[in-house]
Structure 1
Amino acid sequence: MKENEAQTIRLLPWESQGGKPCYVLGDGNGYVSRLADNIESVQLGMADDLLGHAADLLADRKVTWPELHFLASRLTESLRDVRRVAESRGSRAVAASRQHPDQL
């Protein structure tokens, strides 16, 4: 990393074994940052797929309580992942705007 490149703290899309948030410090181009980008992409894609499945399931008048419970559980997990991605990206956007206010 060059001396004039700013390092930022990034919230990662996974937690520690104890359930605490994980972060990486860097310029956003390292291995961990690229891995996090890939995982975020997968999480967002899975959320999109799950929304389609939810629409289909909710349109089915014969859906059972266990199916709805399973759907609600998966939607909750997905929403948690998407919220973490949004928090991470929002924090990085704010940090970038502070470093380069003339580029807004």
Structure 2
Amino acid sequence: MIAQEGWRLLPWSGPDGQPCYLSADDHDSYMSRLEDNTESVQLGMAAELLEHAREVLGDSDSDPEELRLLTAGLTGALGDTLRVATSRGERLR
């Protein structure tokens, strides 16, 4: 998932899960701002889910279905967070 120089990895996938890239020439373009906003939303949702996970895991009465749903949510949030970290890391080069 490494972009070539001059391209930004977008925080969403294309059809069949392939990575999507955007030309990094214009950092103030509509798509660049959309990408930045989407990354911000994804990271905010991950932070909220992490707080919820701490609450659920701290409750000894949590049922298996709740834990399964929590695990699915955390898996999605971790994937989004890794994609954001990869994209931002590539821009540091």
TM over 0.5: yes
Q: Give the secondary-structure state (helix, strand or coil) at the position aligned to 2:68.
A: helix
Residue number among 16, 19, 38 corresponding to 1:18 in the alignment: 16
Within 5 Å, give how 1:1-104 maps onto structure 2.
8-27=6-25, 28-94=27-93
Q: Unpaired segments of 5 or more residues in structure 2?
A: none
- In 2, the alpha carbon distance for the partners of 1:58 and 1:18 equals 33
Matched residue count: 88
Larger radius of gyration: 1
**% of aligned pairs identical?**
50
Alignment match, 1:4:
none
Output one character per residue of 1:47-92: Cα deviation in whole Å (capped at 9) or x when no partner: 0000100000000010000000000000000000000000000000
Give the CA deviation at 1:12: 0.1
Tell me which stretches of 4 or more aligned residues in structure 1 moved more than 4 Å: none
- TM score, norm. by length of structure 2: 0.91
CA-atom RMSD in angstroms: 1.1
Give the CA deviation at 1:26: 2.8
- TM score, norm. by length of structure 1: 0.81
Greater RCO, 1 or 2 (C-alpha within 8 Å, sep 6+): 2
- In 1, the alpha carbon distance for the partners of 2:55 and 2:85 equals 26
User: What is the identity, as a one-letter code, of the residue corresponding to 1:11?
Assistant: L
Give the CA deviation at 1:30: 1.1
- In 2, the alpha carbon distance for the partners of 1:69 and 1:26 equals 39
Q: Unpaired segments of 5 or more residues in structure 1?
A: 1-6, 95-104
